[in-house]
Amino acid sequence: MMTHAERRGIAVAIDGSPAATAAVEWAAHDAELHQVPLKIVHVIPSEPVAEGWFSVHTPEGLPQWQNAEAERIISEAEKLAEENLAPARARQMTTETLHDAIIPALVDLSKEVDLLVVGCRGHGTVAGALLGSVSAGLAHHSHCPIAVVHDGVPMAERSQAPVVVGVDGSPASELATEIAFDEASRRGVGLVAVHAWSDMGLMGFARIGWAPISFRNIRDEEDEVLAERLSGWTEQYPDVEVTRVLVSDRAAPRLLERAEDAQLVVVGSHGRGAVPSTLLGSVSRTVVNSARIPVIVARMPHKHGHWPRRHR
């Protein structure tokens, strides 16, 4: 268990967009739940502006405008965060404005915090895009778990809804399970653990001639496996009521189905079938893209093998 001095806290990246505003509110709430410091970060991009084959000169006065805009965005975010933090936690809050390429700057920041929070898409994304380039890049390269917050459902509307987690037995899934139990416990809600043990579904088994008794045997075995994967966590978090969901189907649609009545979804960055070089699996990518509620992607910490447990 980490000591108070070792708690690195939560950082939220903002750009003034509606999704970033939702991210600030969610991050402040989570920092209060975990009793850890909150850091608000705005990055003024240093990437060269280009049009076609030609570089575009920086317009006169742009740096001054960017700095003034950064101050405004930070100030508004601070006020919103303070509304969701106790006075003692609010006094711990810090802010920072960085001048750098956005994704590399936030990837570096992810080495210093327990959780990095971003909006699902920010200013400058193509209309209709389901996942912004910043949140997508961080989901691939972050050194800590990342929470991607959508601005579609007000947080207060789901305060009593459960947490949903995808369980497949991979190391990232184990970390996701640990995070999900911790988040459910602190929110005082139940946990829905979804285990998809086959991508073929019932029709797939019928096509290859599997007998119903064989299907039932496999399902029973997978049910036992799921129970075993959860047993250690249920002992550590006896206050969390767990609903086990076992399906012979693709994981992403079932997770999204459960997310309709949940307040948070936690998924591994890649599952048991992912290619080692693929840093974001198809399930996590689909859930982050399509869920209307916050999603935590359990990126394996750079130097730690588990979610940093906090004093309960």
pLDDT in tens, the chain (312 residues): 333 445 589 999 999 888 899 999 999 999 999 999 999 999 998 765 444 545 556 677 888 998 999 999 999 999 999 999 999 999 999 999 999 988 899 999 999 999 999 988 755 443 333 345 777 778 778 899 999 998 877 888 889 999 999 998 778 889 999 999 999 999 999 999 999 876 544 444 444 455 555 556 666 667 777 888 898 999 999 999 999 998 877 888 999 999 999 999 999 886 444 433 333 567 888 898 889 999 999 986 654 445 555 444
Selected from 3.30.1060.10, 3.40.50.880, 3.40.50.12370, 1.10.1270.20, the CATH number assigned to the domain covering 1-152 reads 3.40.50.12370
Check: CATH 3.30.365.10 for 156-305? no
Residues of the chain with CATH 3.40.50.12370: 1-152, 156-305
CA–CA separation, 122 vs 172, rounded Å?
A: 27
In this prediction, residue 270 carries a pLDDT of 62
In this prediction, residue 93 carries a pLDDT of 96
In this prediction, residue 58 carries a pLDDT of 64
Measured in Å, how far apart are the chain's first and last C-alpha atoms?
A: 10
Strands (DSSP E) along the chain, which ranges?
Answer: 10-14, 38-45, 50-51, 54-55, 94-100, 115-119, 146-149, 163-166, 191-196, 242-247, 264-268, 295-298
In this prediction, residue 157 carries a pLDDT of 87
In this prediction, residue 1 carries a pLDDT of 31
Would you say 261 and 209 are in contact if contact means Cβ atoms under 8 Å apart?
no
Six-digit token string for 29: 């709430």
59 pairs with which residues across the strands? none
In this prediction, residue 226 carries a pLDDT of 85
In this prediction, residue 274 carries a pLDDT of 41
Six-digit token string for 62: 């742009």
CA–CA separation, 260 vs 193, rounded Å?
A: 15
CA–CA separation, 16 vs 80, rounded Å?
A: 12
Backbone angles phi and psi of 92, in degrees to 5: -85, -15
In this prediction, residue 202 carries a pLDDT of 46
In this prediction, residue 307 carries a pLDDT of 55
In this prediction, residue 214 carries a pLDDT of 56
CA distances from 52 to 56, 58, 134, 265 (A): 10, 16, 22, 40
In this prediction, residue 120 carries a pLDDT of 83
In this prediction, residue 11 carries a pLDDT of 97
In this prediction, residue 178 carries a pLDDT of 95
Task: Please name the residues in contact with 140: beta carbons below 8 A apart, sequence gap of 6 or more.
Answer: 279, 280
C-alpha gyration radius of the chain: 21
CA–CA separation, 126 vs 123, rounded Å?
A: 9
C-alpha dihedral sign at 269, 37, 46, 121: positive
Of 294, 21, 292, residue with least CA distance to 163: 294
In this prediction, residue 122 carries a pLDDT of 56
CA–CA separation, 293 vs 277, rounded Å?
A: 28
